[in-house]
Amino acid sequence: MWAEVSPRLDIETVVLDECVLKLSDRQQTLVRLRYSEELTSGEIAERLSLTAANVRKILDRTRDALRRCVEANLRPTGDAR
């Protein structure tokens, strides 16, 4: 079972990495702080002189952009959605 799933996960990881590189520098910084450094919205806000609510909103929009990018890049050719 995992042999069938593993190649798909590898492709998804590569696509996600490519999509992250398409983000603005600010978005990339927020993603790194949240998911690599595991900081809270409040901690990120303090570090970047933003409000926690603003950090959450930017991350929400960034996750939406990443989802759309990944889905578009994983969609089979010819699938016009």
**Structural domains of the chain sorted by starting position, each given as residue range(s) with its CATH number in brackets:** 22-73 (1.10.10.10)
Provide the residue type at 74 as one letter. L
The string of pLDDT tens digits covering residues 29-38 is 999 999 999 9
Q: Does residue 66 have a pLDDT over 70?
A: yes
- Residue that has been written with the tokens 């930017």 in this structure: 58
Contact criterion met (CB below 8 Å) for 34 and 44: yes
- Please give the C-alpha separations between residue 48 and each of 3, 8, 33, 56, 65, in angstroms, as whole numbers: 42, 36, 10, 13, 21
Instruction: Give the percent of the chain with pLDDT over 90.
Output: 77
pLDDT at 1: 40
Task: Read off the pLDDT of each residue in 3-13 and give the average, rounded to a whole number.
Answer: 71
- Pull the structure tokens for residue 23: 């983000």
Q: Does residue 6 have a pLDDT over 80?
A: no
